[in-house]
């Protein structure tokens, strides 16, 4: 499930009480004396035009700034991606990765086995439709479809197909974009039904809610979110009946530097996690990293060697489990 601070407008200070007022001059009427005004008193209170509020971000992107900083795509081993556009609409991609995969264990020891993977992808991009698909050598297929049915109505389809029984998933989403709100209805396998709604309350504050029903497991939940964003910061809060409480804060120090932090509490699992991260963009590279209360330190460096060629370095250190992951990769093509 996707992802509050208050906004106070500047107001003129109240006039001094009568007992504190200056005595009138001995000659002339006190009302004739010009009132003493300062620069703060001349400023009028900013008015909010509730009939012309901005459209909020999609419900699933409520924490996108914090997610980009605190959830870098770290990996272990070697990764190579090649993308080629055959024409302005159609493109092909190849991805090769070699590394290790962790196996579940009962103890604190980390068990890893070597693994490799190859994926072939194709994409079609049109102003009103996007088709993307990827197929791996072990039979897994991922597909995504985005189609604009109307000017404000969009259809999204996500599907994951595997050869293993009961692991394939599919989801249909209908997104409606209003002038100052967004709504979404979801329909998926295993009798999944869900919906969400987010509304701009002021120029900077938006509030939303969501609910879902999983018929196969007979589970339901309701959640509420709040997002406050300005040009310098973004703050979000989320709470759900599943026992999840999530808070995030992103501070834009400059155009190239951002700092982020989040807090997550899971009542069902009795787990509390907090993390702090940074996002630093240079002229030729981008550096992201984070550290959390579980003792995990991670960093991801993306260096642009030449136009269309990027070099990636990844590292993740888990001091509690003594698990260390290092990777490097290269991507060719735009």
Model confidence over 176-225: pLDDT tens digits?
Answer: 999 999 999 999 998 999 999 999 999 999 999 999 999 989 999 999 99
Q: What are phi and psi of 179, to 5 degrees?
A: -70, -40
Partners of 233 in beta bridges: 251
Q: How high does pLDDT run on average in the chain?
A: 86
Q: Which residue has the tokens 């209908």?
A: 174
Asked whether the predicted pLDDT for residue 167 surpasses 90, the reply is no
Can you say how many angstroms the Cα of residue 232 is from the centroid of all Cα atoms in its chain?
A: 16
Q: With contact defined as beta carbons under 8 Å apart, do 100 and 327 qualify?
A: no
Classify burial at 157, counting beta carbons within 10 Å of its beta carbon; exposed 0-12, middle 13-18, buried 19 or more: middle
At 46 the pLDDT is 62
Asked whether the predicted pLDDT for residue 278 surpasses 90, the reply is yes
Angle subtended at Cα 208 by Cα 7 and Cα 63, rounded to the nearest 5 degrees: 75
Q: With contact defined as beta carbons under 8 Å apart, do 249 and 227 qualify?
A: no
71's CB contacts (< 8 A; 6+ apart) are none
Instruction: State the pLDDT confidence band at 320, using cuts at 50, 70 and 90.
Output: confident
Q: With contact defined as beta carbons under 8 Å apart, do 1 and 198 qualify?
A: no
Mean pLDDT for 249-255 is 95
Superfamily of domain 59-333: Porin (2.40.160.10)
Whole-model pTM over 0.85: no
Domain positions in the chain are: 59-333
**Rounded CA gap, 45 and 42, in Å?**
10
Mean pLDDT for 48-66 is 91
303's CB contacts (< 8 A; 6+ apart) are 284, 285, 310, 311, 312, 313
Q: pLDDT above 70 covers what percent of the chain?
A: 86
**Rounded CA gap, 148 and 129, in Å?**
6
pLDDT in tens, 87-134: 999 999 999 999 988 887 776 677 888 999 999 999 999 999 999 999
């Amino acid at each position: 499930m996707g992802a509050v601070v208050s906004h106070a407008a500047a107001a003129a200070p109240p006039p001094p009480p009568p007992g504190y007022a200056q005595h009138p001059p001995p000659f002339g009427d006190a009302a004739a004396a010009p009132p003493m005004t300062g620069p703060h008193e001349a400023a009028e209170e900013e008015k909010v035009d509730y009939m012309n509020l901005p459209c909020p971000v999609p419900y699933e992107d409520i924490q996108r700034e914090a997610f980009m900083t605190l959830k870098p795509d770290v990996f272990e081993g070697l990764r190579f991606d090649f993308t080629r556009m055959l024409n302005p609409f159609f493109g092909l991609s190849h991805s090769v990765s070699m590394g290790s995969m962790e196996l579940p264990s009962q103890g604190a020891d980390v068990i890893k086995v070597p693994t490799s993977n190859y994926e072939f992808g194709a994409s079609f991009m049109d102003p009103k439709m996007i088709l993307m698909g990827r197929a791996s050598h072990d039979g897994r297929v991922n597909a995504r479809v985005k189609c604009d049915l109307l000017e404000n109505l969009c259809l999204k389809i996500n599907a994951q197909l595997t050869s293993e029984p009961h692991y394939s998933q599919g989801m249909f989403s209908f997104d409606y974009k209003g002038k100052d709100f967004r709504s979404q209805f979801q329909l998926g396998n295993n009798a999944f039904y869900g919906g969400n709604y987010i509304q701009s309350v002021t120029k900077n504050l938006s509030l939303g809610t969501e609910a879902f029903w999983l018929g196969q497991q007979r589970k339901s939940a309701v959640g509420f979110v709040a997002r406050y964003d300005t040009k310098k910061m973004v703050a979000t809060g989320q709470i759900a009946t599943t026992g999840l409480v999530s808070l995030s804060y992103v501070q834009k120090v400059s155009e190239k530097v951002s700092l982020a932090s989040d807090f997550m509490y899971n009542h069902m699992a009795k787990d509390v996690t907090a993390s702090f991260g940074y996002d630093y963009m240079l002229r030729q590279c981008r550096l992201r990293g984070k550290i959390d209360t579980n003792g995990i330190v991670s960093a991801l460096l993306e260096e642009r060697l030449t136009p269309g060629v990027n070099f990636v370095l990844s590292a993740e250190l888990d001091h509690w489990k003594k698990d260390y992951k290092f990777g490097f990769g290269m991507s060719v093509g735009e």
